[in-house]
């Protein structure tokens, strides 16, 4: 289940509560953060030292419930070592320091690539009954929709051609550009193994019996508009939105004049959400009196 929405709507809280409920029902559950600004530790009120100890790896925090905050750099080193080393060396030829070169070797969109890699691997291994994804804000989350088709196009159209051309050019390049490293065949072999692990991910994402999207929104005009666009994009890519969660609703019985106006606006936007997304189920969550932090409150 992908939990998607505009930044600040409460995706982490809703996805964490859902994961907690799934685990309580006896399902082996993994809650994974795809956001570069991880906050699962904050949601469950966990010690930061505990997260550092399990950096980038899933670990169990209660019976049937594991969490994972992806570390892109470590994941790329583990799964794409030859390519990562080559890009780092290439960056260093420009005069960059090793640390800066390592950071620049992580291209935009790699979070989504690594996230999909983990999802496909866990699914094939039957490691969990339920995998819940706490996604980045909507704009960034939508990037992963194009990852499978982009990778497939590259492997079919460009990969073998590029590999063949570099094999021919390598001897000449060593003479003319000795200070600029070219990727050797081990880098291409590493890339091939890496992309091999993505096989079937497009089918996995578009099979409604396996994968669904849950939109988390607030009853505010700008947030609603973004949720509507996200719904359209996910539908265009063949993914199924099976629920919409309206979060932080003020109680109807509120009496304060200032808050009463906000409550009326929320009511109007809630009706718009229900009407627009029908027949997709819509769930309403109130604005709680206190912060929803820690396992007990989730």
pLDDT tens by residue, 151-161? 777 777 766 76
User: What span, in angstroms and rounded, lies between the C-alpha atoms of 30 and 22?
Assistant: 10
Residue 191: pLDDT band (50, 70, 90) is confident
Q: Name the residue with tokens 């570069």.
A: 36
User: What span, in angstroms and rounded, lies between the C-alpha atoms of 244 and 215?
Assistant: 5
3-state helix, strand, coil in the chain (%, to 5): 55, 15, 30
User: What span, in angstroms and rounded, lies between the C-alpha atoms of 195 and 226?
Assistant: 32
Q: What's the average model confidence in pLDDT over 68-76?
A: 80
Q: Is the pLDDT of residue 139 over 70?
A: no
For 165, counting Cβ atoms within 10 Å of its Cβ (0-12 exposed, 13-18 middle, 19+ buried), the class is exposed
Query: Which residues are within 8 A (CB) of 232 and not within 5 positions of it... i.e. 6 or more apart?
Result: none
Question: Is 273 within 8 Å of 227 (Cβ atoms)?
Answer: yes
Most confident of 13-22, 27-36, 163-172: 13-22
User: What span, in angstroms and rounded, lies between the C-alpha atoms of 43 and 157?
Assistant: 44
- Does an H or E element contain 271, and which? helix 257-277
User: What span, in angstroms and rounded, lies between the C-alpha atoms of 157 and 111?
Assistant: 24
Q: Is the pLDDT of residue 25 over 90?
A: yes
Percent of the chain scoring above 90 in pLDDT: 48
Residue 168: pLDDT band (50, 70, 90) is low
**Domains in the chain, CATH or no CATH each:** 2-77+108-143+200-286 (3.40.50.300)
Q: What is the pLDDT of residues 28-47, one digit of tens each?
A: 999 999 887 778 988 999 88
Return the sign of the alpha-carbon dihedral for residues 67, 71, 72, 78.
negative
Q: Quote the pLDDT of residue 101.
A: 46
Pairwise pLDDT comparison (36 vs 86), residue with the higher score: 36
For 43, counting Cβ atoms within 10 Å of its Cβ (0-12 exposed, 13-18 middle, 19+ buried), the class is buried
Output phi, psi for 184, to 5 deg.
-90, 180
| pTM (2 d.p.) | 0.84
User: What span, in angstroms and rounded, lies between the C-alpha atoms of 198 and 44?
Assistant: 31
Q: Is the pLDDT of residue 277 over 50?
A: yes
Residue 146: pLDDT band (50, 70, 90) is confident
Mean model confidence pLDDT for the chain: 83
Other CB atoms within 10 A of residue 88 CB: 20
Query: Which residues are within 8 A (CB) of 87 and not within 5 positions of it... i.e. 6 or more apart?
Result: 105
Strand, helix or coil for residue 243: strand
How open is the CA angle 88-90-96, to the nearest 5 degrees?
A: 75
Q: What's the average model confidence in pLDDT over 181-201?
A: 73
Q: Is the pLDDT of residue 243 over 70?
A: yes
């Amino acid at each position: 289940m992908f939990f998607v929405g505009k930044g600040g709507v409460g995706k982490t809280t809703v996805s964490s509560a859902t994961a907690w409920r799934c685990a309580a029902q006896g399902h082996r559950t993994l809650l994974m953060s795809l956001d570069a600004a991880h906050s699962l530790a904050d949601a469950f009120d966990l010690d930061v030292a505990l997260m550092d100890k399990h950096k980038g790896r899933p670990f169990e925090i209660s019976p049937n419930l594991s969490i994972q905050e992806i570390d892109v750099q470590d994941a790329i080193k583990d799964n794409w070592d030859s390519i990562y080393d080559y890009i780092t060396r290439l960056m260093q030829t420009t005069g960059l320091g090793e640390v800066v070169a390592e950071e620049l070797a992580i291209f935009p969109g790699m979070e989504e690539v690594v996230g999909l890699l983990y999802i496909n691997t866990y699914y094939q291994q039957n490691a969990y009954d339920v995998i819940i994804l706490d996604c980045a804000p909507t704009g960034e989350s939508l990037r992963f929709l194009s990852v499978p088709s982009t990778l497939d196009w590259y492997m079919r159209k460009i990969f073998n051609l590029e590999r063949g051309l570099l094999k021919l050019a390598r001897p000449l390049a060593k003479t003319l550009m000795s200070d600029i490293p070219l990727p050797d065949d081990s880098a291409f072999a590493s890339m091939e193994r890496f992309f091999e692990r993505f096989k079937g991910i497009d089918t996995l994402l578009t099979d409604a019996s396996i994968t669904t999207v849950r939109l988390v929104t607030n009853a505010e005009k700008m947030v609603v508009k973004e949720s509507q666009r996200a719904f359209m994009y996910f539908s265009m890519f063949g993914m199924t939105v099976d629920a919409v969660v309206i979060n932080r609703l003020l109680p109807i019985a509120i009496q304060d004049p200032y808050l009463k106006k906000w409550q009326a606006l929320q009511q109007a936007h809630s009706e718009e959400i229900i009407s627009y997304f029908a027949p997709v189920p819509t769930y309403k969550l109130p604005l709680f009196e206190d912060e929803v932090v820690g396992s007990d409150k989730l």
